[in-house]
Structures are given as C-alpha cells and as structure tokens.
Amino acid sequence: MRAAHPLERRVGIEHYYSDVDGTGGRLRTKPADFRVRELEAMDPEPLSTDAGDYPHLLVRATLRGWDTNDFARRLSNALGISRERVSWAGTKDKYAITTQLFSVRDVDPDDFPEIDDADVEVLGRIGRRLHFGDLAGNAFEIRVREADVEPVESITAELHERVAGDGSSTERTESEDDDDGPAAEAATDVAVPNYFGHQRFGSRRPVTHEVGLCVARGEWREAVLAYVGNPYEAEPDDTRAARAFVDEQAERADPDWRGALDRMPGALRFERSMLHRLHEDGDDTPADWRHALEAVPRNLQRLFVNAAQSYAFNRIVSERLSRGLPLARPVDGDVVCFADRDAPEGLYRPDTDRTQVATDRRVDVMARHCERGRAFVTAPLVGTETELADGEPGDVERAVLDELGLIPGDFDLPGEFHSTGTRRAVLLRTRVASEVDAAEDAYGLSFSLPSGSYATVLLREYLKTSPVDL
C-alpha cells in the first residue's frame, strides 16, 4: 500500500487508497478553479411569515474571493447590526467561488446592501439561527492546472474498484444531469478513506491535536506549550524565534513570560493572550496553565479536543488499512451506521444516530447494504459515551487509544473541553465526473460530499502532493 506524504503522517494519515502515481499540479490558480456550492438542508417559510415567530432571514450568497468570516463582518457592518446576528452553516475558502447560506436576525429583507463580489438572495424566514453543519453537504467543481493528466483515468478506475472493498469491479454510474460539473458524459462511483484533512489540524502548523491530546490527559502545562511554543519550520523566522524563547523559559525556574509576550508577533493574538495570563498569574499550578489555555475563544477550546478525536480517528482508519481490514464492508464486531434517508439524490450521507453491530450472519447482510451505499462501517470519535467495537475492529480501536494514552473517560473535561463523542464513517463514497484537457495540462473534477467530509481527501488521491498544496 502506498505510503502517505510525510506531513500527512503527522496527523495520522498513513496511506493512500490508490497506488497509481499522482498528477501533481496546482489548485486555486484563480478563484474560478475552485467552486463550492452548499447542498441545502433547510426549507424556509415565505418572507410574508410573521417575523415574531421567524425572526431570522435565510440568505444565499455567492461569493468571489471572500472568506466566510470576513463577509459576515462586512455584511453586519453594512446593515449596521452586531456581527453576532449573522450566522452560517459552513466555513468556506477565500480563494474560491462559493455559494453558501447565512442567517440574519431582525433585519428587513429590503435593507440588504450591494456588496462587491457578492450576489445575495433572500430566500425566506426561519425560526432559529443557522448552526454549523446545517447543510446536507457540498458540491465541488475543481480544476487542476499544470498537471500530468495521463493518470487521471487510472486513478478514478482504481478508486472505483474500492467501492466494493475487495478490488472487484462495479458498474459505472451514468450522470443524472449532463450539465452538472465539468464532465459531460458520465460520473463514476469512487471511494476513499474518510480521513480528516490536514487542514483540520492547521495547514502549515498542525498542532491542534497535540494540544487536545494533552488536554484529554490532564496535561494543561504541556497543552499550552504545544500551542505557544513548539516552533515549526514553515513559520517565519521571528515567529520561530519567539516560540523557541517560550520553550527556553518553560525550562527555567523563573520563566520570563513578560519577555516571551514582548517577543511574540502581534498577529498571534491567541498565543499572546495565553502568555499574558501566564505573566499575570505568575505561578506554575495546573489551574494556572488551564486558565492560560482558556484565554482563547470557546470555539477554539472545542477545536483542540475535536482535533484530538480526529487524530485518533485517522490513526484507527490507518491501522485498519495496515492490518488489511476493509473500509467498504464490515467484519465481525464492526459498528455499522445506515445512510441518511433524507439526503439529496446522489449524496452518500451517513446517519451515525442509526447504528447496528455486525455479528454472525448480520455481517453479510450489512456488507450488502454497504455495497449499495445504504450503510457504512464506522470508527469512534472517542468521548465519554463511546462504546468501542467488538472483534478485531475493537482491537484496532483499543490499540490506538492505548498508544495515545487515552480512554473514553478522559474526555469528561471541564467546560468547552468536554465531549461525549460520536462515530464516523471510515469510508467516503461519492460520484466523480472528470474532464481532461491534455492541451492545457489541466483536468476538472466534480463531486458532492456530505457535510463534515473533506474535498482534500479525494484530491490527495489524484495529485499525491504535499498537503500544504491542497
């Protein structure tokens, strides 16, 4: 099995699913090369509905070169309202053309302003703000330039064989909409490991999972130092020097946190906030270190623990592959979830609230469901309520957690660090349509993914390049 890029192995991704050489190439040469459209999961009420019961306007915005947070800030400023009254279902990349949903509370539909590089459509009213994940998935249209296009078809064919999980071939699926995506003739069912992408952990400095693992072990001091110190080679010289100074002070009996704060670049405001608390508290107790870590916003506190869970998940998936356990079909002891019955047509979306353990004769029954895209093998995002699998899948899960020094009870944590856990499909299945432009050394891919899955885990199989370039 082909080994993953060295940077990917830092976040638990050990393997590629296809052995064919990659195409290389460049993504996002221009925003139009990367198009993302949210697959919506909400049906708003008409605009004429009583605003008292439905105070939030549901808005669809097509953005060109806008970061989601920056657009929300620009929209709230233009409307003269608090940024807290604007919410969205998913965060999108700035270097793309994106179509996504926002909700805006207590605003007249006629008050929406014109904003450069943004087309805004008010769809109707909803009774609550949008929450992260309030979408069925995302549809992508991506163009790869400066690529070796010759392997594209072979990569697709190999990933197509992985749908059945045993290397056997399944029939290709004709596209239901000839105008949907860059390919005109057909789409092909493919499958890849449902890894958490490298960007989940920090694209250039993947340390959020290191922080989260320390938190789960109750190592508050180590958690802070993993985030504030711990220099990475991809960082600017002044940042590396500041982090190295932090590491030096941590070894001293009388650390100079004031000096560390003075050296930390102003743009690193979360690191500066932690150092400020260390300087103010002045002691070296676990409570002081936890207080320093809690200087960051609550969503980042949750992200630390979520990243630790994601890293453990990636390791479990990689260990399954190393042991030769299939991802596309269950073996005895696996926990299998069913597909979401309300997902849009053609979107393979797991419903992890509906699970069943595959045992005895149920293994073959569940395998047939998985082959048809009606069910998925899962692995844990470990938390306090996690029940590990039985059989060899359970052995894999326990071995990885033992190596990381974790048990489910470790996630019984204070405040935003607490997590009950859930399960996640180990296989990501989709239909890919491709179009090769050999004259331009370019190719296009179109596909749809359920919310929570990463386009980069499919793209990495095609490009086989550094995750920094995805």
Question: Is residue 17 pLDDT above 90, yes or no?
Answer: yes
Q: What is the pTM of this model?
A: 0.92
Confidence of residue 184 (pLDDT cuts 50, 70, 90): very low
Count other C-beta atoms under 10 Å from residue 258's C-beta: 14
What is the tens place of the pLDDT at every residue in 125-143?
Answer: 999 999 988 899 999 999 9
Question: Worst-scoring range by mean pLDDT, 145-149, 203-207, 225-229?
Answer: 203-207
pLDDT at 165: 65
Distance CA 364, CA 366 (A): 5
Quick one: tokens of 206? 């993947």
93 among known catalytic residues: yes
Burial degree of 372 (CB within 10 A; 0-12, 13-18, 19+)? exposed
pLDDT digits (tens, 9 = 90+) for 85-123: 999 998 888 889 999 999 999 999 999 999 999 999 999
pLDDT band at 169 (very low <50, low <70, confident <90, very high): very low
Mean pLDDT of 130-159: 95
pLDDT at 92: 86
Q: What are the structural domains, with CATH classification, of the chain?
A: 21-32+137-194+428-469 (no CATH), 42-133 (3.30.70.3160), 203-296 (1.10.1510.30), 309-425 (3.30.2350.20)
Q: Which residues are CB-contacts of 317 (< 8 A; sequence separation ≥ 6)?
A: 12, 193, 194, 195, 327, 379, 426
Tens digit of each residue's pLDDT (9 = 90 or more) over 333-360? 999 999 998 999 889 999 999 999 999 8
Average predicted confidence (pLDDT) for the chain: 93
CA distances 351 to 138, 163, 364, Å, are: 16, 19, 20
In the predicted model, is pLDDT for residue 283 greater than 90?
A: no
In whole angstroms, what is the distance from residue 6 CA to residue 16 CA?
Answer: 12
Rounded Cα distance, 358 and 442, in Å: 43
Amino acid 177: pLDDT: 42
Give the model's pLDDT for residue 183: 38
Long-range contacts of 232-240 (CB under 8 A, 24+ apart): 232/204, 232/205, 232/207, 234/204, 234/205, 234/468, 235/204, 235/205, 236/265, 238/265, 239/265, 239/268
- Active-site residue among 67, 93, 180, 256? 93
- Residue 150 has a pLDDT of 97
Instruction: Give 282 or 329, the one with higher predicted confidence.
Output: 329
> Which pLDDT belongs to residue 166?
53
| Distance separating alpha carbons of residues 379 and 330, to the nearest angstrom | 11
What are the tens digits of pLDDT across the range 367-417? 999 999 999 999 999 999 999 999 999 999 999 999 999 999 999 999 999
Pair of tokens at residue 219 = 């190592």
SS3 435: strand
Confidence class of residue 164 from pLDDT cuts 50, 70 and 90? confident
Spatial CA neighbour of 89 closest among 112, 113, 117, 123: 123
